[in-house]
Structure 1
């Protein structure tokens, strides 16, 4: 639930807070709302050490064995398409066929 603001914001406060913190940490979303110097101090204490690359690698590793996690139109699907084009992402038609069909 923490990967989608549209979902996280309708859940418990700690889910919304986790989502806000994660997108701020990974993508610098809403960084202008942080106090001046806050991010620099945090990164000095807790260096990023390639966080974005490591996260993408972990996502790809996690979905390699489970096609259901490679959802079309999701952040995970986007990462897999970008970083591991050899790992197929489910298409719209495959998802429909695997569900109720037509």
Structure 2
């Protein structure tokens, strides 16, 4: 396995290779390739912003966060929470079983659990921030730094896209339809399910009136014009 990606530069520690094998085994091939590209693009953006592995961040931790960040979309990671939280929990269990120290496991958990919270993740340490940056870059959400000519072609030759954005979209929706608690209102999974079903969400006022029952809107004239 560790010779399969010899053309790509990533950490080849024992834990990194075990995580790579685990992600490849449990994930859809498109999700796995996306996760590997997340590391490559996250590190690339980091370098463009002056962050170097070994000096500014722990390269193994960045790789672990990237390669495992979507394991919550796998059958093995499909629990009762949003896929990002389920994935963080599965990654933490796996890494703990491999003997990774608790403080390092916690960094990976944070990186995965926060990877949909772009503004929050980018304020955290590089091992966390670059996971969400790399994932967004690979899906076209973030392109602040153009790739060198031919770089994407070389990456895609080894890690083909396999309709990555479409596959991830459908996996998130399938989980949310099967278990509505995995796609709560106003979350990214919830929004994707809402777009798919066309179901309307209640307004803030409707939620306040029906759920809390405190009467906050009774007699309130409003201040927003």
Question: 1:76-98 CA deviation, whole Å, 9 max, x = no partner?
Answer: 2332223x216x46534465455
Match of residue 194, structure 2, among 81, 84, 93? 81
- The equivalent residue for 1:19 is 132
Question: 1:17-68 CA deviation, whole Å, 9 max, x = no partner?
Answer: 1101101111252164322221121111111101111101111122221336
Superposition TM-score, scaled by structure 1 size: 0.73
- The equivalent residue for 1:41 is 154
**Cα 1:16–1:100 shift into 2, 3 Å:** farther
Q: How many residues align?
A: 99
User: Of the two, which has the highest radius of gyration?
Assistant: 2
Say whether 1:67 aligns with 2:181. yes
Superposition TM-score, scaled by structure 2 size: 0.37
Distance 1:100 1:6 in 2: 32
Q: Is the 8 A contact 1:70 1:89 kept in 2?
A: no
Structure showing greater relative contact order (alpha-carbon pairs closer than 8 Å, 6 or more residues apart): 2
Q: Give the SS at the match of 1:36.
A: coil
Question: Mind listing any 5+ residue stretches in structure 2 that lack a counterpart?
Answer: 1-113, 217-225
Question: Mind listing any 5+ residue stretches in structure 1 that lack a counterpart?
Answer: none
Distance 1:57 1:95 in 2: 28
